[in-house]
Amino acid sequence: ELKVEQNPLFLSMQEGKNYTIYCNYSTTSDRLYWYRQDPGKSLESLFVLLSNGAVKQEGRLMASLDTKARLSTLHITAAVHDLSATYFCAVDILRSSGYSTLTFGKGTMLLVSP
Amino acid sequence: GAGVSQSPSNKVTEKGKDVELRCDPISGHTALYWYRQSLGQGLEFLIYFQGNSAPDKSGLPSDRFSAERTGGSVSTLTIQRTQQEDSAVYLCASSFIGDLRAFFGQGTRLTVV
């Protein structure tokens, strides 16, 4: 059974600080996604990582993928309040049906305070 | 509309009643997914549609859950004889075939009392 584990599940940080969220998964996959969810809102796609060593950056967020270690990281640089949200990683897995679906981690709730 | 639309946004129902949740995907998106998000949990895959066919129903938690899709567009998730453990946010997502990104609706918050 595929497991996708994120840590930490809750992160409280001050503005201006740096931190990393980790996403480990238990089976082979070359495609990993990061989503953001604001309270009461839907999921917004942040990054799609397609290969080993892939790195993508958008503003203060940078995501990377190590398929050999089955690990992705989401690094936050100089956090600001607007980054407060829940962040999910998801792994694209080929199911026995022959189709791919996303398996999600439990999410990391990030709270950035002044 | 431009995004995935779900209705109702909130639904409170009595235990034992049936409910129908609707998803209107982005026009032209052939792939459609239903997920369930329970408090403090991640997203749990329920069912996947390719056009009107559901090649993967493996995530449906019990035979009280069913879904259909008509015209390659709107999908309905039906929960019969609802139980309190069915309380969750039900999210729908759609994508083009081969597109790596799925676009999510805002969800239906179901509360069974």
**Distance in angstroms (rounded) separating the CA atoms of residues B69 and A69:** 39
CATH of domain A1-10+17-84: 2.60.40.10
Break chain B into its structural domains and give their ranges. Answer: 5-112
pLDDT band at B1; cut points 50, 70, 90: low
Question: What number of other Cβ atoms are within 10 A of residue A31's Cβ?
Answer: 19
CB contact under 8 A, B58 and A90: no
Break chain A into its structural domains and give their ranges. Answer: 1-10+17-84
Please give the residue of chain A at the shortest CA–CA distance from B39.
Answer: A106
Residue whose entry in the numeric block shows the structure tokens 């950035």: A112
High-pLDDT (> 70) share of chain B, % = 96
**Distance in angstroms (rounded) separating the CA atoms of residues A82 and B66:** 39
Q: pLDDT for B69-103, tens place per residue?
A: 998 899 999 999 999 999 999 999 999 876 768 89
Residue whose entry in the numeric block shows the structure tokens 């089955």: A70
Homologous superfamily of the B5-112 domain (CATH): Immunoglobulins (2.60.40.10)
CB contact under 8 A, B48 and A101: yes
